[in-house]
Structure 1
């Protein structure tokens, strides 16, 4: 299999990297985080590069690119520690809206493509523990439309979004796989209450309360669409994590080469060289699993879901190891708020919790194993 990137993909990588180097310094990122984490302006700058429409079909004003191009962009945004809801607004939202009726797509996808509207997924509920099929929010038919009642938590950039894609149950009990629909709810709709707050990585999230909120139906059979969109999100944050780990490792190597103890550089100590070698091994393992995740997005649902759970589990493990080791190799400066390394570590920690933590993904992998697990064929 050819793992070389095409000329167009390399050009896309260079364009994103140039923007990061020129327009998004750590000082800017730190200032945004200290001011509360609002990132809509940064997202607008990414839209000027055409990146908001990366996954939107050309018929709706987007670029119509695929998973590999998305991986390239997310990796570069991670390397630059860019504070913007890119995965949620530019990758997950188009995957969800792709299942909507034609008129709803025509109304919203062009806005997603030019970033005049930020649409995010509001899926998590109290007690669900990342399970997509555990939905308590209720949907009721109301005339020609629908109304939703329930609550969603930790909605990414929820107080900056213009609309939400909300899974809600139109039939069945909270644990039924059937009866889950997807609905589009505008933030300004009556019955919508949003409470925003900053997150530990300098971004923002929100709690969403729905009390008879008006909604437009995207799909009555919403679970398969939701699972695919979440897998798209997993692939995106996996690539972002690789970029974060790559840059954090490079920063740590530079630090070991310049910081001196007992009159010699720290990199001259064999024990520390062994530790950075272990870090690089975990980085390359994470990179290969990120590639694996993106390439598996086109597979049938069963194979795709298992592959993305495997990838996310490994990324979580690598991110924790690389983050912890790099902080320790820096010493005290590695945890100071003024040093970029601590912010890379915090973002890696937040990524571990997005779209399913390690225990959840390990359970997903286990549940999807064949009886023999390939050992006793």
Structure 2
């Protein structure tokens, strides 16, 4: 028998259809409403509220060059986008609209942060206007964290690339393909030095779409890059320009979060998933233990054909084990499901190449080795 969560998630298609119908009615009502006075934002982190529930942000974080957005009743247009940054690095900005919380700024009446296990669906709709005389991606961002945080950087960022123009690519490297929410995607995984990133890249431009955010969350959990005990903190839609960007526009945006995934009572176990396919990685874990303590030397090898630029190795420590110090990587948390993130000098894994790190720990009971290794969310084989 399926759990209440799975039963609720199984009716998303019908819910999405109803959502689209309601959205169409809302669009007719909006058309009949009084005219909305546009708002110009040129301040670096300037914001304003639209529809009484979403925040539009200029969010010019990667350049000192001027950027302005004209905020309409339902979206925004980029009217000025000066400057450029190298295409092999981070973009210069992320003009966008969001539902949820972003660096302590929470949208009016939002239900976020919300624990994933309590969300039955999160229907959303977005439409974009593209230009060809710029280098950019059109990205929908979904942010997840182990805590219900409303400030700072979250643990995992899910990106849905609706379009990309120019020589730009997501963080990390392509680690596979997937069908999510009825569409086919390239799947890229990596770490940008501050958080894990999984990107679903459309093979061709998508101008508008209505979908359920939880379909992408579920796909991320299945790849080991989040857990159902984590929190959805915000969803955002906008553009990441590297060069230019004037003329880009977001015509409409809607987002809601339906709670009720958890009843508070006993829940039957989920039906078992198919085991994950091994990724292009291999891990060697060599330990030396003594009464109450141990050291571990970990070597991760890229067995694929493309380089991994920025890595995070996830693994599970047995109960009773705690990390006390580490070298050549940053390990968090100190027990349970641990994530080791590369140092600045060893962030790149060439095809066939390896990087190593180590740590010292304490334990109680009987010593056992760590298990369940994943590289940027992809399951690794063990040597």
TM-score (ref. length: structure 2): 0.27
Larger % of helix: which?
1
TM-score (ref. length: structure 1): 0.27
More contact order relative to length (CA 8 Å, sep ≥ 6):
2
